[in-house]
């Protein structure tokens, strides 16, 4: 038993879709969330800069005494090298492995689509990990760089004409490839999952990377006997690196419920980038 | 006469639309461009962070011996307070004053529209400056937060269906207000000026803030006898704070011609934020 909080980091607000799932799965856990809103987006930056930022983010969370770290950010997950993350002396998960496992469990035809930011797609990490675990699968990937700004600007309704038009363009190749499973490899995308589902058709199973990471975290904590030992609801603390008001205003888009948490701003650049 | 370069800064690549105009107007001048691609976008960040970043950017340019600084970035221009910029001991201009002057010279009906990033619109700076110079004008403003990602992702053709749909939504109030002049208060927007012009109608004059700033810089340098004294073409040097390849790949979108310049990466966070 371990009553310390679970740490969740993201480049901005997308990781809140993982928090939403954690709240459902593990309601007794405290959560410390850090959204690097002062340096968002990570998805367009070089691997070197993303690594530097991510290590600062993790050091901030460790300073808040978290018992595990979830990188609820596709870009961080696929950019931090395993040579680094396997040396961490605390439980850590990105979204990649849990999501790939969920996709392989879901597919029947072995044809899997992956959508994510340009940086994530460029790394080829999802495709590589899928084929490592099951060399027989066929993978089709597409970068969807406009989905993040569309979500952040509230173009999120299921019938939004602009987002639908963009989705049809971005998803056309993946649709043509006849996949039966689609990985939403960016934590912003679950917000427009109903729209993406409409474009893909009802026979395609969508895999939410935030949900997959939350499922995986629950299993991991249970196995290591690190689940919280309390009957009351856990508390969430939110930290950001730019204006807290902007975060509080938009958080409900991602959490799927009214946001009334406290948000504090921290100076993330003052944290070390070595672990 | 002064053969030192002109310094141009922007949060990313948009300022290249000002460089394009400088190249036309002042072909004998050297130009040093800094695009803060490692920290882009500024338009969604707090005033405090934008000021901190902008002062570091200016200090980098001053270190390159520039004779004047053009902040070719709507967000920097409207965020840096006059109490600060009037103390600079070098010629400085943002895009605000030159653009407002050009708009007031262009309007016949005194009804002026302003489009820019959310942060720029929130400051109310364009409206305030327009009314300061001519209290009789009527101003209608609209934030167009998706225009920057649309431009950066290449949704820029005149008949692009997505960008046209977004433009119709963003511009509907300004169109209904019957303006005869529209300020493009973000240096990304000239890239989609033909599309914006189609949506607004042929009777609306578009004011390009990069072009206005370049015109103003030429006048200022001539008045202060600081124009370059050479007959050969000037040289452009480009510096960025993230991957130079990405900048080089997309620069032609903004410059309107093939880009074959040299791009170097610098560590902008190591520059002081006091002047």
Q: What value does the CA radius of gyration of chain A take, rounded to a whole number of Å?
A: 18
- pLDDT > 80? residue A147: yes
Model pLDDT for residues B94-117, shown as the tens digit of each residue: 999 999 999 999 999 999 999 998
Range of the domain at B106: 96-209
Domain boundary residue, one of A161, A187, A209: A209
In this structure, the answer to whether residues A52 and A179 fall within a common structural domain is no
Domain match, A100 and A197 both: yes
Rounded average pLDDT over B4-13: 96
Which residues have a Cβ under 8 Å from the Cβ of B270 and sit 6 or more positions away?
A: none
> Are A107 and A190 found together in one domain?
yes
Question: Where is A238: in which H helix or E strand?
Answer: strand A236-240
ipTM above 0.90, yes or no: no
Q: Give B118 to chain A, closest Cα distance, Å.
A: 10
Residues A187 and A51 in one domain: no
User: B130 and B180 share a domain?
Assistant: yes
CB contact under 8 A, A150 and B146: yes
Partner-chain contact A145 B165, CB within 8 Å? no
pLDDT digits (tens, 9 = 90+) for A21-50: 999 999 999 999 999 998 888 877 888 899
Read off the pLDDT of each residue in A220-229 and give the average, rounded to a whole number: 96
Chain B residues with CB under 8 Å of a chain A CB are 38-40, 44-46, 49, 145-146, 148-150, 153, 155, 161-162, 165-166, 169, 242-243, 246, 269
Whether pLDDT at B62 is above 90: yes
Q: Which of A159, A183, A209 is the last residue of a domain?
A: A209
Q: Is residue B150 part of a domain?
A: yes
Residues A218 and A87 in one domain: yes
- On whether both B84 and B217 belong to a single domain, the answer is yes
pLDDT of residue B44: 74
Checking if the pLDDT of B164 tops 80, the result is yes
Please report which confidence band the pLDDT of residue A258 belongs to, taking 50, 70 and 90 as the band edges: confident
Residue B30 in any domain: the answer is: yes
Q: Could you say which of A46, A145, A162 has the minimum Cβ distance to residue B165?
A: A162
Whole-number Å distance between alpha carbons of A13 and A73: 10
**Domain identity same for B149 and B15:** no
Residue A1 falls inside a structural domain: no
A176 and A112 housed in the same domain: yes
**CATH number for B113:** 3.40.50.1860
B126 and B83 within one domain: no
Catalytic residue among B8, B26, B40, B73: B73
Closest C-alpha to B94, from B9, B4, B182, B202:
B9
Instruction: Please check the confidence at residue A246 and state whether its pLDDT lies above 90.
Output: no
Average pLDDT of span A231-260: 91
The predicted pLDDT at position B42 comes to: 85
Q: Which of B145, B148, B161 sits opposite A165 (nearest CB)?
A: B161
Residues B87 and B105 grouped into a single domain? no
Residue B88: which pLDDT band, with cuts at 50, 70 and 90?
A: very high
Residues B51-65, mean pLDDT to the nearest whole number: 98
Sheet holding A181-184, edge to edge: A138-143, A111-116, A181-184, A205-208
> Looking at the structure, do residues B121 and B175 belong to the same domain, yes or no?
yes
pTM: 0.87
Minimal Cβ distance to A38: which of B38, B49, B146: B49
pLDDT at position B258 is 84
Residue B1 lies in a domain: no
Q: Is residue B160 part of a domain?
A: yes
Identify whether A221 is part of a domain.
yes
> Can you give the length of chain A in residues?
275
Q: Which of B186, B200, B221, B263 is catalytic?
A: B186
Q: Tell me the pLDDT tens digit for each residue of A12-22.
A: 999 999 999 99
Q: Which of B39, B162, B243 sits opposite A165 (nearest CB)?
A: B162
B186 belongs to the catalytic site = yes
**pLDDT given at position B75:** 86
Domain assignment present for B119: yes
Residue B154 distance to chain A (closest CA, Å): 11
What does the mean pLDDT of chain B come to?
94
The residue with greater pLDDT, B123 or B115, is B115
Distance from CA of B134 to the nearest CA of A (A): 33
Q: What is the pLDDT of residue A46?
A: 83
Torsion of CA A152, A154, A156, A162, to 10 degrees: -100
Contact state of A242 with B149 under an 8 Å Cβ cutoff = no
Nearest CA to B94 out of B118, B68, B112, B119 is that of: B68
Question: Strand A236-240 relative to strand B92-93: parallel, antiparallel, unpaired?
Answer: unpaired
For residue B149, give the nearest of B256, B13, B5 by alpha carbon. Answer: B13
Residue A176 lies in a domain: yes
Query: What percentage of chain A reaches a pLDDT higher than 70?
Result: 100
Residues of A in contact with B49 (CB under 8 A): 38, 242
Which of B177, B209, B241 is the last residue in one of the domains?
B209
Give the residue ranges of DSSP H helices in chain A. 16-25, 47-63, 74-79, 82-85, 96-106, 118-123, 125-133, 147-152, 161-176, 193-200, 209-223, 244-255
How many structural domains does chain B have?
Answer: 2
Rg of chain B, C-alpha, whole Å? 18
3-state SS of chain B: helix, strand, coil percent to 5? 45, 15, 40
What does the alpha-carbon distance between residue A93 and residue B30 come to, in Å, rounded to a whole number? 50
Nearest CA-CA distance, residue B144 and chain A, Å? 10
């Amino acid at each position: 038993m371990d009553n310390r909080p679970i740490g969740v980091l993201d480049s901005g607000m997308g990781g809140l879709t993982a928090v939403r799932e954690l709240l459902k799965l593990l309601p007794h856990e405290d959560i410390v969330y850090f959204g690097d809103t002062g340096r968002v987006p990570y998805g367009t930056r070089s691997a070197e800069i993303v690594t530097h930022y991510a290590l600062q983010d993790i050091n901030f969370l460790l300073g808040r005494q978290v018992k595990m770290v979830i990188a609820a950010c596709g870009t961080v997950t696929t950019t931090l090298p395993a040579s680094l993350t396997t040396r961490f002396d605390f439980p850590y998960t990105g979204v990649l492995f849990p999501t790939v496992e969920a996709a392989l469990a879901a597919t029947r035809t072995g044809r899997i689509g992956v959508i994510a930011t340009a940086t994530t797609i460029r790394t080829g990490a999802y495709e590589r990990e899928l084929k490592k675990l099951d060399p027989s699968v066929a993978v089709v990937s597409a970068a969807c760089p406009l989905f993040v700004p569309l979500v952040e600007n509230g173009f999120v309704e299921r019938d939004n004409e602009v987002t639908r038009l963009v989705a049809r363009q971005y998803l056309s190749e993946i649709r043509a490839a006849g996949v039966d499973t689609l990985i939403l490899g960016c934590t912003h995308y679950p917000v427009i999952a109903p729209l993406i589902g409409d474009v893909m058709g009802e026979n395609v199973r969508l895999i939410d990377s935030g949900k997959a990471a939350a499922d995986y975290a629950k299993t991991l904590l249970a196995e290591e006997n690190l689940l919280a030992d309390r009957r009351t609801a856990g508390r969430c603390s939110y930290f950001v690196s730019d204006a807290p008001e902007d975060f509080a205003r938009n958080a409900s888009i991602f959490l799927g419920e009214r946001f009334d948490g406290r948000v504090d701003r921290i100076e993330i650049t003052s944290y070390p980038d070595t672990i």
